[in-house]
Chain A
Amino acid sequence: MELSEHIKTANVEDVTLRRPFHPALRGTLCVTSHHLLFSDRKDEASWQLLILLKNIDAIEKSVENLFGYPRAMGSSGTITIKCKDLLVLQLEIPGMEECLNIASSIEALSSLESVTEMYPFFYRPSHLTLNGPWGLSSTEQYYKQTERLWDRWRVSTVNSDYSVCPSYPSAVIVPREVDDDKLIRSARFRQGGRFPVLSYCHHRNGMVIMRSSQPLTGANKKRCKEDELLLQAVIDGSELGYIIDLRSAQQAQQARMTGGGFESKSFYSHWKRIHRHHERGKIVQESLIKLVEACSDPSHSVDRWLSKLENSKWLSHVHSALSTAGLVVECVERDGHSVLVHGSEGTDNTLLVSSLAQLILDPASRTVTGFLCLLEREWIQAGHPFQQRCAHSAYSHARLKQECPIFLLLLDCVWQVWRQFPLALEFSEALLLRLAQEVYASNYGTFLCNSEQERCAAGVKENTHCLFQSLLRPDIEEQYLNPLYEPTDLAIWPSVHPQSLQLWTGLFLRWTEYAQNMEEAREEVWSIVKEHHEQAGPDRTNNTLSTHCDTLTPFENLMDELTIL
């Protein structure tokens, strides 16, 4: 079925659009295969609103005058559109039939399942060409850049045809002394074939963060010599490594009943296991739903609001993620040990913790490019199933399948770090907000599919544009820079005391009045910094700010006079 066949009414005149904190507008509504377009009626300087249908999470329709009055009598309908970026719009559409047609088109076209029918495959802006580079880096490039790895580590292409692990990229970094055969055996012993691979090598001491899925020890406590050798090779001569298991000890025990399990002390004698419970899947998705619901009702009393905020548990997930990331950092940076992180599948919380740990440890991941590279390596190439996790957001009435806002949780945690260290990241909140939007609905192919294998099969690289490449174009990148950026080589340990963590108002209250004053403040910061740059001239730009470099000490709460910046 062609996409256009879903469209029964393509155009409606005299539609009224209502948005929060804007006067109602009247204009024309169009539905196309991928967009909803509203343009107001004024001929010159017309204002347009273009919404990707994929951005629409839920629609609610209410139709008046259902008893067959003619259109002239004023039968009309209202469609409420709830977007995945949390915007809620209302459209009053004259004509009951038109209204129902539009609603059904939106319903059908906003939930396309076939990747190649999605908009990124049709997005062809004139300023971009498809032949340009796709993506920012690769396993091989990361290896080449990281001199510390050359001695003891190698790039393995054992997964070049994705047969060893369907969700891994074609190339991974493993200890030099472990050959591909051993990797294959280790992969068979890990859920989904996700054998331990290198995620990060610390520039200060050469200690590494590994990640994997759970070992398939099962009820009979099976073991796998190759897997044990692989982990032994990771720590080499050093006497100890840490396994951070993102489940409680009890959950890890229970996992054995269904074929999963954990690394037992007797077979992995040089590894010390620490359990940290993290919620996953449906529970996290429901947290998001509850939080968004709490934020969308301004009539709550303070007590009720706090109770709903608590009840959503969203901030508890933020707290757990940052705490465990802090634990990983403590192992690597302070105690000088390597770490293996995994939960069950190793595609969600594992990536969350390992990437946050890198942000805290590694100054290179705090630049715009570095951060996007981190996301690319640790989320896209590492096989976070974006398509499944982000199929729906907080409003959908559809039965939840595999949705889970783990990536949103990552962005929230990064925002918390940025709020506590407002000078340490090169990018601003705007980049995080843009990513939060793009991950659910995008013109670009970056967040399509669930793994590199799927992207390869669908021809994503050949037929879509790359978001990260586009964000790094100088004119675009400028919008996402932090005016106060001042690089620091130190680890930036966020305080994880609950009073240091806050609701990410920029995201969750994005479409309220609250956000407007913050926007003014942000502009003010920019104007002060710009004014300064103009006066100081190009030569002196950098050295002023650097005179205010602070020492960043672990677990110390930071002055947050201007929490909004």
Chain B
Amino acid sequence: MEHIRTPKVENVRMIDRLTRRKSSVGTLYLSSTHTIFVENSEARKETWVLHSLIYNVERLPTNSSGSPLIIRCKNFHVYRLLIPQEKDCLDVLASLTRLSRPERYGELFCFSFNPNLDKELREKAWGFINLKAEFSRMGIPCNLWHVTAANHEYRLCDTYPSELFVPKSASPAVIVGSAKFRSRGRLPVLSYFHRDTSPNLFIASICRSSQPLTGFSARSSDDEQMLQAIMKSNPVSEFMYVVDTRPKLNAMANRAAGKGYENEDHYTNIKLQFIGIENIHVMRNSQQKLIDVGELAAPSMSDFLWGLENSGWLKHIKAVLDAGVFIAKAVAEDGVSVLVHCSDGWDRTAQACSVASVLLDPYYRTIKGLMVLIEKDWVSFGHKFSHRYAHLDGDPKEVSPVMDQFLECVWQLMQQFPCAFEFNERFLIQLHTHIYSCQNGNFIGNCQKERRDLRLQERTHSLWPHLWENRAEYTNPLYRTDHSQTQGVLKPLTTAYCFKFWKGMYGRAEKSVASHQSPADCLNAVREESQQLEEELSSHQEVPRETDAGQGIHMHA
């Protein structure tokens, strides 16, 4: 509370940019976690803005009607306020600037967020997603893959989970040697195991790692054996792909720093493939340009399309999707295992592996499945959430919309396959908000070790059960488990015209009061009603029987 200079400002005007007639007057309250705007109108409508979601606060020059203040959020909501007194505006600006940039983990909202759950329920909630169960769903451990204790207490790699799945044929020495030859010790380990049910019976896998420390000529026989072991654990295939998701030039430049990519002459039976996803700095700039396009005041059609092109955003989304498509095709159609890496193996690698998994496995297209996938490929494998999503006031160069791009790839797929996903757009947007909001402990910190050290499971709540309880809200009415799109591998088109501007995400600056004609809501309502009718019908059928038998109906009511 020490950062709040003025906890309450009256006669503040909240401006709707498109329809000025709709702006409303009310009172602005600042709490330690939220800024709340309460309209003076009879409805006393409240708008809550979470401080940890604030991206920046901008004050425009004071004019005759007051001091304008623009609050931009990390989920692309924009609030425009007009504060009568300049002094109040400056106070609010100073408070929000400080409150939106916590300096220590302890200041984060998740540590004060208290949804009134008892201890037992909270602990149970943290067990809602179980990665061991997920690997066993894939059929792991099996005769080819097993869990290794090599990373117990994060001895081998402090950004990896403590439990790693590796080929059975890889000896402890090979595992340790391979880790030594990989950037930050991120050795090749299993990410996804594809058990084919078709007559092919492919058992190809997707593994992930960081770049090898090749420099210009170095090699490691352990690392070479590790890849050999991965390839051999897919008995039907004679080679494996190494997908380097970076542009080739970037990969080559890394050699000067003692890193690089696999030399095809040193590794037997690998095929190296570069995909060309740009680095986090390019992506950050691209997204900023895209946000600017969304914020243009009265753009012409050409301004908009030119801005969209100029941002390069959709081109980058296509690159990520292309990576996923390449991997999924190798695994499902050719039955070839793939090792995916970029530089550190926690951004582009996570994107490529998880997009490929969504394409390959219908499970990841369900509500629970997507949670599991994010927990596995992102949270457990050390995607640096707190750095990338600026949870703490830190190096702005570490910030980048990596997860945004993954979620958008899923959204683009939903546009092409409207019946293939159990969840709807709202679910993706909700996930996006929570990745930034710091309301729950799930995405705090940068790796499993850090989360353990922060004792997050004891001090914060898990997001997943909360989303699960509200899953009705996130359900796609067109999803059916028996639908042709639902089953099997998705083969999306990646023609340029398939990629659309995600208005639901980036067009939110435009949206004022929620008013909508949503076909999905309408269909959901129709579905629910059908179910109710069905239940009514069956209960009607039951009643006479019970009456005949002379039983008390009330007991069943």
Contacts and interface: CB of A to CB of B under 8 A. Distances in A.
B465 interface: no
Interface in B200-241: none
B459 interface: no
A550 B518 CA distance: 10
B523 interface: yes
Interface stretch (B130-138, B251-259, B295-303): B295-303
B478 A560 contact: no
Nearest to A315: B301
A309 interface: yes
Nearest to A501: B301
Contacts of B314: 302, 306
Nearest to B424: A561
Interface string A309-350: 110010110110000000000000000000000000000000
Interface stretch (A123-131, A353-361, A416-424, A465-473): A416-424
A418 to B, nearest CB: 10
**Tier of interface size on chain B:** 35 or more
A550 B515 CA distance: 7
B48 interface: no
A254 to B, nearest CB: 23
A555 B18 contact: yes
Contacts of A305: 496-497
Given A305-B496, A556-B513, A532 B530 contact: yes
B478 to A, nearest CB: 5
A520 interface: yes
Given A302-B496, A303-B309, A558 B510 contact: no
Contacts of A500: 503, 507, 510
Contact of A559 (B312, B506, B518): B518
**Tier of interface size on chain A:** 35 or more
A562 interface: yes
B518 A498 contact: no
B478 A536 contact: no
Contact of A302 (B425, B493, B499, B533): B499
A498 B299 contact: yes
Contacts of A520: 418-419, 483-485
A145 interface: no
B518 A558 contact: yes
Contact of A307 (B309, B424, B485): B309
B305 A484 contact: no
A502 B500 contact: yes
A4 interface: no
A202 B71 CA distance: 42
B520 interface: yes
B547 to A, nearest CB: 24
A310 B309 contact: yes
Given A498-B304, A499-B304, A528 B477 contact: yes
B496 A531 contact: no
A545 interface: yes
A562 B318 contact: no
Nearest to B18: A555
B338 to A, nearest CB: 25
Residue in B299, B497, B515, B537 with the greatest tally of chain A CB atoms within 10 Å: B497
B511 interface: yes
A368 to B, nearest CB: 19
Given A499-B294, A509-B497, A561 B518 contact: yes
Contacts of B303: 498
Contacts of B425: 561
A108 interface: no
A521 B503 contact: no
Contacts of B499: 302
B533 A564 contact: no
Contacts of B426: 561
Interface stretch (A12-20, A229-237, A255-263, A511-519): A511-519
Interface in A413-459: 420-424
A313 B305 CA distance: 10
B64 interface: no
A556 B507 contact: no
A525 B299 contact: no
Contact of A499 (B415, B501, B513): B501
Residue in B304, B312, B477, B500 with the greatest tally of chain A CB atoms within 10 Å: B304
Contact of B495 (A310, A318, A514, A518): A514
Contact of B526 (A509, A517, A529): A529
Given A518-B418, A535-B530, A556-B515, A304 B301 contact: no
Contacts of B424: 561
A459 B19 CA distance: 52
Contacts, number: 192
A158 to B, nearest CB: 42
B517 A424 contact: yes
Contacts of B480: 524
B495 A565 contact: no
Given A544-B526, A555-B18, A524 B515 contact: no
A221 interface: no
A486 B517 CA distance: 10
A426 to B, nearest CB: 14
B56 interface: no
Interface in B501-539: 501, 503-504, 506-507, 510-523, 525-527, 529-530, 533-534, 537
Given A309-B305, A501-B301, A553 B526 contact: no
B513 A536 contact: no
A220 interface: no
A562 B300 contact: no
A560 B418 contact: no
Contact of A544 (B302, B315, B503, B525): B525
B416 interface: yes
Residue in A302, A503, A529, A557 with the greatest tally of chain B CB atoms within 10 Å: A302
B315 A303 contact: yes
Residue in B425, B516, B523 with the greatest tally of chain A CB atoms within 10 Å: B516
B498 interface: yes
B20 to A, nearest CB: 11
B306 interface: yes
Contact of A562 (B306, B495, B518): B518
A491 B18 CA distance: 18
Contact of B530 (A421, A517, A536, A563): A536
B417 interface: yes
Residue in A298, A497, A509, A552 with the greatest tally of chain B CB atoms within 10 Å: A497
Nearest to B298: A497
A495 B19 CA distance: 12
B305 A310 contact: yes
Contact of A484 (B416, B511, B515, B523): B523
Given A301-B315, A303-B312, A531-B530, A560 B302 contact: no
B356 interface: no
Interface string A539-557: 0000011011011111111
Given A500-B503, A501-B301, A559 B516 contact: yes
B301 A563 contact: no
A520 B518 CA distance: 19
A313 to B, nearest CB: 7
Nearest to A488: B517
Contacts of B14: none
A82 B518 CA distance: 37
A501 B501 CA distance: 10
B496 A304 contact: yes
B529 A532 contact: yes
Contacts of A298: 495-497
16 contacts: A302-B496, A303-B309, A310-B302, A316-B300, A316-B301, A498-B299, A499-B506, A517-B417, A524-B480, A529-B526, A532-B526, A535-B533, A556-B18, A558-B517, A559-B514, A560-B518
CB-CB nearest 10 A-B residue pairs:
A305-B496, A498-B304, A559-B516, A521-B418, A306-B309, A310-B305, A316-B301, A559-B518, A302-B315, A298-B495
Given A306-B308, A499-B503, 10 more contacts: A300-B495, A302-B496, A306-B305, A307-B306, A310-B309, A499-B506, A532-B526, A532-B527, A553-B515, A561-B424
